[in-house]
Chains A and B, each alone.
Chain A
């Protein structure tokens, strides 16, 4: 099976004094569903940031979607990011854009045609049950609704890999369920690799998944 992520002796740090992830080795198969858990401050989000190139490895090698991220050029990094779908805990929606335009963002960046873009956005808005809110701005929505918009944005361009950082962290049960359904759907129906950083794995998961745990800068698979 193809590997979508390969990390060898990977070390991550924000400063020279403090290493967050220390010489870890792991890989993720294409099309798999992976949970990364760990205590607060263990380095789960740091690891996720490194996967979309927001934090460069200080040591070792990290290959995501065939792109080596240590010393990666901006051009290559942009190319990789265009094939990723990222969901942030704080949503990271563009406040001055309508939710419809927010969902369009990856499609605009990837140069999709207008009609394709509009159809895809309409379909996603239906999936996240926000069709009636299309013209609203992010700050007019609740936290759960904003996260559903962020989820739709992450799925819009059919990415090869979805990276989700505590996507249901502060959400109500309904919104959480919508998010999990979408992630599972993308994995099952489209074969998208999904990596979710979370404090706890939902009990209702219907897909097979792998579980990695981060502790003391090390990562281990929980079988």
Chain B
């Protein structure tokens, strides 16, 4: 029972670290997926006196993935009633060219300003419409969401690290006696700390396994999948290989660091 309790305290601490890291990862992925979605529906409009070669734009602004010329036919058709066909053709030639620019991803306001400035430097470009108002509002909302989640994850991390340091003192007390006795019989440092490192590795494995099972459940949960569908994004909640290896790496690093600190902080009794 006592041994189970010893394991439990470190396993819980490690689990909360793994949960906060994975939740942060899920939020990051969701925001990226949402930004990608936004980028699909978002475009800039460039007004130019003369036709522009799409390659010129793409060379200047690497974020641009696709350029479509907006045909003036629709506007002219609406005006058609009042003007002759000849004049309509003339009007078509004299009208400025309109281009719709698609971007690789949803840019930050700063990036958007830079794109705008670069495009305006092109000789024939008269105007660049970035629809900043709507863009900035959505972007700020995303940033706010990300900040809230980051702060939450960071707070969990800080609390957990404090808990782990408390655990470190308990472990130091528990293991000091055994390590001292082994030292009195000439055990080398690796042998004195072997039990401690074995415990640390076992706890890291238990925590990673529990986190793995939990996130497998979460990723297969219909309600969560529905929520992502509702906002129109498809997110990998838990990548069984990459995420599990990351979790295992974090749990191992933290618990081995804890064990190393105990070994380094061990003082032989006199």
Contact = CB atoms under 8 A, between A and B. Distances in A.
A95 interface: yes
B187 A109 contact: yes
A143 B164 CA distance: 36
Contacts of A108: 191
A82 B182 contact: no
B178 A109 contact: no
Interface in B253-270: 268-270
Given A94-B181, A109-B191, A54 B186 contact: no
Interface in A72-113: 77-84, 86, 92-97, 105-106, 108-109
B188 interface: yes
A52 B184 contact: yes
Nearest to A95: B177
B3 to A, nearest CB: 8
Nearest to A97: B178
A83 B3 CA distance: 32
Interface residues of A, number: 24
A45 to B, nearest CB: 11
Given A49-B270, A54-B268, A109-B191, A92 B186 contact: no
Given A54-B268, A55-B270, A109 B181 contact: no
A137 B159 CA distance: 36
B186 A105 contact: no
A109 B177 contact: no
A105 B188 CA distance: 12
B185 interface: yes
Contact of B187 (A54, A78, A86): A78
B197 to A, nearest CB: 16
Given A54-B270, A55-B270, A82 B185 contact: yes
A63 B268 CA distance: 21
Interface of A: 14, 49, 52, 54-55, 77-84, 86, 92-97, 105-106, 108-109
